[in-house]
Amino acid sequence: AQSVTQPDIHITVSEGASLELRCNYSYGATPYLFWYVQSPGQGLQLLLKYFSGDTLVQGIKGFEAEFKRSQSSFNLRKPSVHWSDAAEYFCAVGAIGTYKYIFGTGTRLKVLA
Amino acid sequence: GAGVSQSPSNKVTEKGKDVELRCDPISGHTALYWYRQSLGQGLEFLIYFQGNSAPDKSGLPSDRFSAERTGGSVSTLTIQRTQQEDSAVYLCASRPLQGSSYNEQFFGPGTRLTVL
C-alpha cells in the first residue's frame, strides 16, 4: 500500500539548533517527494521537491532534504532553526503520470527562544 | 500574481444546514484539488478536476459532498445536511500542467468549517 509516515508528531528545538524531520514512504513507482510547511491559519507552502538527479535538494528558507532510496526516506534538515520556523511540516509523495499525492500526517515544530 | 484564494475563511453552521465553499485557483492552472484537513490528520483527498475531463470524485466521503468547477476556473465544494464530523479545514490547491512547476500544488489558505 502507498503511504507516507512522519513518525514525529511534535518536535521542540531551541533557536539556533539543528533540525531534522523524518519522512518515510512506501510507494510502488519512482516517487516524486515534497516537503510543505503550513503556518497557523495559512495554506501549505512548498519548501522543496525531489524528482530525480542529485539526491540532496535545496529549498527555500535554508531547508534541505536528502532522498535515500535504500531507506525509503526523505528527511528534511536545517542547520540552524529560527523562531519563525515554528509551523507544521508535511511530507508528500507522488509519481510521474499520477495526480494524487499522498500526504503524511505532519510534524508540528515548536521553537524555544 | 495572485495566489489561490478561498472563501469564506471561516464558516460556522448548524448541524443539518448546507454550506458552500469557494475556491479561486491561480489563473491558467488547469488542475484543481480539494482536500480536508482534520485536527491531527494529514490531508485527505476529496476531489480532482483537470480541464474538461470528468473529475475524480473518489475521495468524497459521502453523497452529501459535491463539487463543481465552472468554466475551468472557480470551484465550489458543497456539503449538504452538515454533520459535526464535517468540521475541518477545507483546502483547495491548483496546479499547472506544464512548465517548471507542473508537479507543484499551490494551496489556498483554507476554509475552517465548524458545525455546531
Are A43 and B103 a contacting pair at CB < 8 A?
no
Q: What is the pLDDT of residue B71?
A: 80
- Average pLDDT of A98-106? 91
Torsion angle defined by CA atoms of residues B11, B16, B18 and B24, in that order, rounded to the nearest 10 degrees = 40
Of A4, A10, A103, which to mutate for an interface test with B (greatest number of B Cβ within 10 Å)?
A: A103
- Which string of DSSP letters, residue by residue, matches A31-66? EEEEEEEE-TT--EEEEEEE-SS-SEEE-GGG-EEE
8 A C-beta contact, residue A83 and residue A111: yes
Q: What is the pLDDT of residue B2?
A: 82
| List of chain A residues whose C-beta atoms are within 8 Å of the C-beta of residue B107 | 36, 43-45
| Distance of alpha carbon A70 from alpha carbon A34, whole angstroms | 18
8 A C-beta contact, residue A101 and residue A3: no
* Tens digits of residue pLDDT in A41-87: 888 999 999 988 889 999 999 999 999 999 999 999 999 999 999 99
Residue B70's CB is within 10 A of a number of other CB atoms, namely: 8
Rg of the Cα atoms in chain A? 13
**Which positions of chain B have pLDDT values less than 70?**
1
A59 touches B: beta carbon within 8 Å: no
B99 grid coordinates: 512548465
Q: What is the pLDDT of residue B1?
A: 58
Of A8, A44, A48, which to mutate for an interface test with B (greatest number of B Cβ within 10 Å)?
A: A44
